Each structure stands twice: as structure tokens, then as C-alpha cells.
Homo-oligomer: A and B are copies of this chain.
């Protein structure tokens, strides 16, 4: 049995992160980068325990957490096997579109409109859209799903005057691009993207179906028309264990 795929070190005691959680993260990472393909067998519990210098029960704790998450499947007498697949690669470039970006990687993908509202623009939204602070903006809360699993959770803001009714269009079409087309926007470009990462908070855990301790990638972006008018300000969260971002020059 080849065990070399899981890095041996990186287990820290008294760190505030339990050993079983650290080991679970290592297994998740190994799967995410493709070191374990679907249906591959994990090394046996005793081997993992020895590798990380912990008790077998601690390894079992990590594995049972991943079994609960639906990442692994344990079979008594046989072994423990990988269920989930490699990370999706989500492209970010001048023309970043949800559906086309994941083409070829998933058999199915769509955006669900979770909620929408009209609200006064906060400081950063106003700055991003080039509006006065407090101007009315429409907020769309959406979740991206691919093959039935959540892969993104986003909030998008649009100038309310110009895009009145975009919430209905979004509910109907399930596509930002198609919704914007109804307002005469045939093309738009990604002007700026700021990227960060943090631990998932309670909302992320619920929205993206994650377990506590998971990491989310966060992008804050502005989309503009080809002549430079800002039309959309957005903040998106991606589960780092399921998605990587592929930055394409353009």
C-alpha cells in the first residue's frame, strides 16, 4: 500500500485545532489535489496512526468526520474508500461566467436565486459601483451548484434605477449574463478582483454544506461594460476543499 501521498508532518498539538481535525484536513487536501482518486483506498487506520504519530482512535475520529461529510466510505474488513472527486477549477478572467467556466468539468451546473432585496448602498458597494453612498441598489443572493453540490455562494449588487426587475429576470433565467442581456448588456468585463481566504463562518457552513473548520476563498469583484461603466459589485465565497480558482490572463 502506497502511503507516501499524505505528508507526514504538520500535525501540531495544543494549537487550538484538534488532531483529528488536522488529519481530516490533510486527507481532504490530498483528495482535493488528486493524490487519491475516486474509489481509491485510504491507508489502513493503523498505518495512518503511525504516520502521524497519533493513536488509532484519533485517526478514526478524523475518518468518521469525513464519512459524515460524505467524503469517505468505510467498509468493515475491507478498508476506507474515497467518494468525492477532484476539486473543480473555476476560471477567473476578463469574462468570468459561472456556467461556461465549469463546462467539461461537471455534467450539470446552475445558479439558484436565494433572496433579493433593495437596500441603500454601503460604503464599499457605492465605491465599487461609482454611486453615491446610500443610493438604492438591488442585492441578489445566489448559490452556484454543480452536480448537486454547492460550489459558490455570492452576493451581487446592481444599481436599482438602471436594473429594476433584475431579480425577477434572475429568478426566471438562472443566469446573470442572461438577466443583464434583458437590460441591453450584451457583454461585460471583470474590472477588478480582490481575493482572500478565511475560515467558514456559520452562514458559510449552512449555505455551502460545509463542516466547521472549513476554509472559504473570498473574491470581491467589479464587473463593467466594455466602455468601463460599473454594473455589478459582488462578493463570492468558494469552498476551498471543492474549488480552486484558475486565473487566466486575457
Q: Which residues of A contact B (CB under 8 A)?
A: 7, 9-12, 15-18, 20-22, 24-25, 29, 32, 65, 87, 89, 92-94, 189-199, 201-203, 205, 211-213, 215, 217, 240, 244-250
Contacts and interface: CB of A to CB of B under 8 A. Distances in A.
A250 to B, nearest CB: 6
A57 to B, nearest CB: 14
A196 to B, nearest CB: 4
Copies of this chain: 2
Contact of A15 (B213, B215, B240): B213
Contacts of A240: 196-198
B250 A196 contact: no
Nearest to A196: B244
Nearest to A22: B199
Nearest to A220: B244
Nearest to A247: B193
Contacts of A24: 16
A196 B211 CA distance: 18
Contact of A203 (B9, B20, B189, B245): B9
